[in-house]
Amino acid sequence: MGMHHPRRIVAGAIVFALVTATLGASTASAGRDRTPPKAPTNLRVTATSPYSVSLAWNASTDSSGIASYTICCAYTNAATVSGSTTSFTFTAGIEANRSFSFVVTAKDKAGNASKPSNMVTVTTPRDTTPPTKPTVAVTDVGSTYVSLAWSSVEDGPNVWFTVYMDGSPVLFGTRDTSGSVSSLEPETTHVFTVVAQDFAHNVSPLSDPVTVTTDVRDTGDANAPTTPGNLRTNGMQFGDGETWLFWDQSVDDQTPQSLLVYRIFANGIFDHSVVGRGSTILYGNPSSQNTFTVIAVDDAGNESPAATIVVDNF
């Protein structure tokens, strides 16, 4: 009776296991769906507007079923829809009086992608419709500021507003629909109007005027805002004296943070003011050391303690 060799038995078992695993993997791989679906056909444009393109196509076919379609592209914008959908209205990135080309690809439930459909090219019509006349409402009034909200209806995704005070623009070309005008004198009357402009430069009628009188200065408010915090340059200082200042915004018990005024000084001399933000750019003496100061001021005129930084502009 021959002697058994344990090492040979173990080695044989390992080889058998590897072969079995390999054959099993090959069998599984052989069963995987690697066949892409048929390309969608007859891609066509069914409607256009200045800011949309409607498309339709004949469905793709695949043995495992269609999971999704991808429509490409308006600039870099693409869209994906379910495999049961054969139409789509494209709006992302669409602009008036522009040409766009589209193709559609299908993906089956196994993840295989088809070849693209036929390509269609379309030019959107011009936008000749201006935004509607804006409506304007007063949302808040203080002794040195007026807060407003405004709106307009536009057939496209983009509309810009210009806010006028007493006939002069104070907010120009903004997409915001609310804002504040500050640094006003107490007990003064101002007239505000708004116009809207769309992507095609169509301009709305001027809004109805809104007349606002600022409040009497609140002499009962004796509390100053907190000191602007962590005044810094973030390394943005240059030999010509240009300096970028940053700070943590102050808070006040009466004036909203968005309406606090920050007075900026360079070497003890007033330079300019900013409202409701924690950064600015100013110039000191070139190729020298400069001292910059920021003071917060509330609606009652109370001034915070000064925040100061010494900057080497070399």
Share of the chain above pLDDT 70, in %: 90
Where do we find the tokens 């509607």?
A: 132
Kindly tell me if the per-residue pLDDT of 73 is higher than 50. Answer: yes
* Domain enclosing residue 54, as ranges: 41-123
Token readout for 14 is: 């390992």
Confidence of residue 135 (pLDDT cuts 50, 70, 90): very high
Query: With contact defined as beta carbons under 8 Å apart, do 160 and 277 qualify?
Result: no
User: Per the domain annotation, does 254 fall within a domain?
Assistant: yes
Kindly tell me if the per-residue pLDDT of 15 is higher than 90. Answer: no
Mean pLDDT, range 105-110, rounded to an integer: 94
For the domain that residue 108 is a member of, what is the CATH number? 2.60.40.10
pTM summary value: 0.69
* Domain edge (last residue) among 90, 123, 156: 123
User: Per the domain annotation, does 303 fall within a domain?
Assistant: yes
Q: Which whole-number Å values give the CA distances from 286 to 44, 61, 232, 289, in the listed order? A: 64, 71, 18, 8
Q: Are residues 51 and 118 in the same domain?
A: yes
Q: Are residues 49 and 90 in the same domain?
A: yes
Query: CA torsion sign, 175 to 176 to 182 to 184?
Result: positive
User: Per the domain annotation, does 197 fall within a domain?
Assistant: yes
Query: With contact defined as beta carbons under 8 Å apart, do 184 and 145 qualify?
Result: yes
User: Per the domain annotation, does 202 fall within a domain?
Assistant: yes
pLDDT in tens, 256-306: 999 999 999 999 999 999 999 999 999 999 999 999 999 999 988 899 999
Q: Are residues 140 and 188 in the same domain?
A: yes
User: Per the domain annotation, does 26 fall within a domain?
Assistant: no
Mean pLDDT, range 199-226, rounded to an integer: 93
User: Per the domain annotation, does 36 fall within a domain?
Assistant: no
User: Per the domain annotation, does 70 fall within a domain?
Assistant: yes
Which is nearest to 57 in space by CA: 117, 123, 122?
A: 117
Query: How many domains does the structure of the chain reveal?
Result: 3
- Give the pairing type, strands 87-90 and 77-82: unpaired
Query: With contact defined as beta carbons under 8 Å apart, do 290 and 243 qualify?
Result: yes
Q: Are residues 163 and 110 in the same domain?
A: no
